[in-house]
Amino acid sequence: MTTSTDRSTYTAVCRLDQIEVEGGVTALVDGAAVAIFRTHDGNVYAMSNYDPCSRASVLARGIVGTRGDVPFVASPMHKQAFDLRTGQCLDDADVRVPTFDVRVDDGIVLVGPPQEHP
């Protein structure tokens, strides 16, 4: 569902309760596979589902946890960790996965445009 007004660039993908706490789902947003995660503290994050290390579309199936204060997902392939907030790979400074704006309205998860990171 794509709507106009301020939601113009946001796509509703699922209900929040379809994502397990510390789990992830894959959604199709504008033709791309996006991994959406929900953390224990109630935050929701979205990033590309494509793991550049294993070259497979799998990140939503990784284990979600924390490293220090950083919420992260570990790739189910070779366990590289990615910061859910920025997509930065925590094991390789040169690798980063694109992230997307995401918000929850009325229990519906909406994925927005790609985020810019410095």
Residues that bind other proteins (CB under 8 A): 1, 11-15, 18-23, 25-28, 30-33, 36, 39-40, 48, 50, 52, 54-58, 61-68, 71-72, 74, 76-77, 79, 81, 108
Minimum Å gap between C-beta 88 and other proteins is 16
Which residue number, 25 or 102, has a Cβ lying nearer to other proteins?
25
CA distance 111 to 80: 24
Minimum Å gap between C-beta 92 and other proteins is 16
Minimum Å gap between C-beta 63 and other proteins is 4
Minimum Å gap between C-beta 22 and other proteins is 5
Coil/strand/helix, residue 5: helix
Which residue number, 28 or 103, has a Cβ lying nearer to other proteins?
28
Which residue number, 22 or 86, has a Cβ lying nearer to other proteins?
22
Which residue number, 74 or 89, has a Cβ lying nearer to other proteins?
74
CA distance 60 to 34: 8
Segments of the chain assigned E as strands: 11-15, 23-29, 32-38, 44-48, 50-51, 56-57, 63-67, 70-74, 81-83, 99-105, 108-114
Q: List the helix and strand counts (H, then E) for the chain.
A: 0, 11
